[in-house]
Structure 1
Amino acid sequence: MTMTKTTTANSTPTRPIRVPLDLWDEFGDVSKQLGSNRTALILEFMRWMARRPGSKLPKRPDVPPAASSA
């Protein structure tokens, strides 16, 4: 399969979004804290917002990111 810059290995097209760098970094830290990654959490949230059957709101960390890095 030939991949373009807008297609990943599993044929999911990329969707560029604008996110402030500090929020992106913080979200990455939270994702790792939860044992996940940004993509998985964003997709989980989107499924929940779209009311897909069986979807659940993603878990939030017990400790805010700023407090966990102190």
Structure 2
Amino acid sequence: MPQPQGKPRRFIAPDDLWERFEEAVRRADPEADRSKVLRTFVRWYVGEPGAKIPERPDPPQG
């Protein structure tokens, strides 16, 4: 898989939120990672042509 172009960016979030985000990403797409989901969201948020909002996974079982 080609690496995305651009500089690494810092994203600050509480540890528990970041961990829940990782779990949600895995439920939605086991081959994705948090960075991919964040890039997809940002493309949609700024209105990039053809960009779609990332699909939200089902809630965790429990």
Answer yes or no: same fold by TM over 0.5: yes
Question: What is the alpha-carbon root mean square deviation over aligned residues?
Answer: 1.5
Greater C-alpha radius of gyration: 1
Question: Aligned pair count?
Answer: 58
Aligned to 1:28: 22
**Partners of 2:4 and 2:24 in 1: how far apart?**
25
Alignment of 1:43-62 (within 5 A): 43-62=39-58
- 1:53 partner letter: P
2:34 is aligned, of 35, 38, 60, to 38
Q: After the TM superposition, list the runs of 4 or more consecutive aligned residues in structure 1 that deviate by more than 4 angstroms.
A: none
Please report the TM-score for the alignment, with normalisation by the length of structure 1: 0.73
**CA–CA distance in structure 2, aligned partners of residues 10 and 58 of structure 1:** 17
TM-score w.r.t. length of structure 2: 0.81
For structure 2, which runs of at least 5 residues remain unmatched after alignment? none
Unaligned 5+ runs, structure 1: 1-8
Greater relative contact order structure (CA < 8 Å, 6+ sep): 2
